[in-house]
A and B are shown apart, each in its own frame.
Chain A
């Protein structure tokens, strides 16, 4: 039965933790608050270590609007700096990646070493009277750490250490990353008109697999598809799905998609042929292991409705050209701008945003409940999405189902 206007504007008839106000995806004030309270206080994925293997290798990136440069310093430690000259604020390093001996601002040619020290001020006698001295003009260093070859940064100096932050969720990928010497072979970026949370939660919402022809034919047709439980990390807001309750792998039937074969070769160490393992790290990093390749998915928000999705593919360092080609082929069958799923996920987010933006959809329903025993939930349960918004509420100090009313009351 169609809903009346009153029903449409009212919260859905489900428990309060089972729906989300669409304003969390669209409201500029909430987004500004997210930047301050959440995004600058959690660990943000930067890159894989193979992107900065040598001293002087760097990657530029942004977070909460702040330009950053991550570089391997001469002591081989990977460091991150705010990529803005201490003088007039220009970006110091402008290219996405490369190798440098030092950082020289193009504007007035101030120079910094790879530890962030200011080492040269052009005609520095002009600063003798009032300063600043070189010692006072270093770049702002941002806390950076590495786990399993994944480089993360955090603006918050008081946040828990990275390893503690990832916690028990490391179970899903620590051994696999330990047994395989990975390096990057794929990177794509997509600007999307949609919210960063919607993108991340599409990765965590197995129910959306019904929308993918690949997943319908290769995943959902497997009789044991629903036998993998979500493993939730309530303390940090992470989650993963891996082995089934009997510790057998969940095996994807790639042969069910016309023209594809099952993934029996080039299997990553620690995985079984066809095995699929997915890990979601709060707030927006996902690590996917699809038998022969790894996908790291992360996004950079530039506002409530502008998100840049960044997707990486990892293969085995030093492998033969033929093996790399096969691995890359299998990666891009599913992921990337010309893949089967990648082109669909972005559209899912943009289509939802289109209805949320002007109020055509007031609430997101996240009520799926599929118990599998022992307090665990099956993959198509919304258990992880609910955990995500519970954690979001902790950081924001507002419930996701009614954030704007509280904001109005507080004002």
Chain B
């Protein structure tokens, strides 16, 4: 698999995070101020589902220990101690396309 349509822009409200399955891959799509981002479903810290997290501006916040990342730049924000893995995303005529050539996974201990 490479570029796949995961959803449409209407499927994810502004400042919301939704979960999708594409084949065997589960991923999250976030709408941060009209920009769409895709990433694995769980926090790199303790596997907490990021679908229950929050979007504040460009920032993704995990709701457990409040690890935060800038979705656009990838910069680590408050509390975060390791980076968020992100999929490449492009929007084409309302379709949210994600590059799923390789499933992104964390090496949980």
Contacts and interface: CB of A to CB of B under 8 A. Distances in A.
Size category of the B interface is under 10
Contacts of A210: 65
Contacts of A217: 54, 63
Contacts of B56: 221
Interface residues of A, number: 7
B19 to A, nearest CB: 15
B61 interface: yes
Contacts of A365: none
B105 interface: no
B35 to A, nearest CB: 20
Interface of B: 54, 56, 61, 63-66
A90 interface: no
Interface string A200-231: 00000000001001001100110000000000
B66 A220 contact: yes
Which 4 residue pairs of A and B lie closest in terms of their CB atoms, listed nearest first?
A220-B66, A216-B63, A256-B54, A217-B63
Interface in A297-356: none
Contacts of B64: 216
Contacts of B61: 221
B70 to A, nearest CB: 14
A217 B64 CA distance: 9
13 contacts: A210-B65, A213-B63, A216-B63, A216-B64, A216-B66, A217-B54, A217-B63, A220-B66, A221-B54, A221-B56, A221-B61, A221-B66, A256-B54
A221 B66 CA distance: 7
A217 B66 CA distance: 9
Given A216-B64, A221-B54, A221-B61, 10 more contacts: A210-B65, A213-B63, A216-B63, A216-B66, A217-B54, A217-B63, A220-B66, A221-B56, A221-B66, A256-B54
